Amino acid sequence: MTFTIPALSLLFIIAVVGGVLALIDGIVAVRSHAAVLGILQIIVSALFLLSLFFAGIPFGAVLLAFITVLLLILVLAFRGTARHSVWLALIALVLLIVWLTLGTHNISIPGVNA
């Protein structure tokens, strides 16, 4: 497992901000209502963030981001009557979907991923 310093780009910033927001939402979910989904979200989003900086993280960044997106959708669906806002999960969800779309070069935007 070797530490790599990634190039600072808009795509990398989108991935880091989306991962950090998903991690924070998982911590809030554990503290308020959904312990099992929150713990899974914390583990997967932490592994996603580590996969951006370290080579050799199992499953790769793309699969971990996809699993994080699925967990964010499940947390939003089973939120119930929680006291905290859904905006943190929604912003993380949008950023990770944008990163998945642009990071896999499904869409090429000059200056961002081309």
45-61 mean pLDDT: 87
- H or E stretch covering 5: none
- How long is the chain? 114
Distance, CA of 66 to CA of 18 (rounded, Å): 12
The pTM score is 0.86
Q: Quick: pLDDT tens for 83-95.
A: 667 888 899 999 9
**Displacement of CA 50 from its chain's centroid (Å):** 11
Per-domain boundaries in the chain? 31-103
Q: Quick: pLDDT tens for 26-43.
A: 998 888 777 888 899 999
Distance, CA of 109 to CA of 103 (rounded, Å): 11
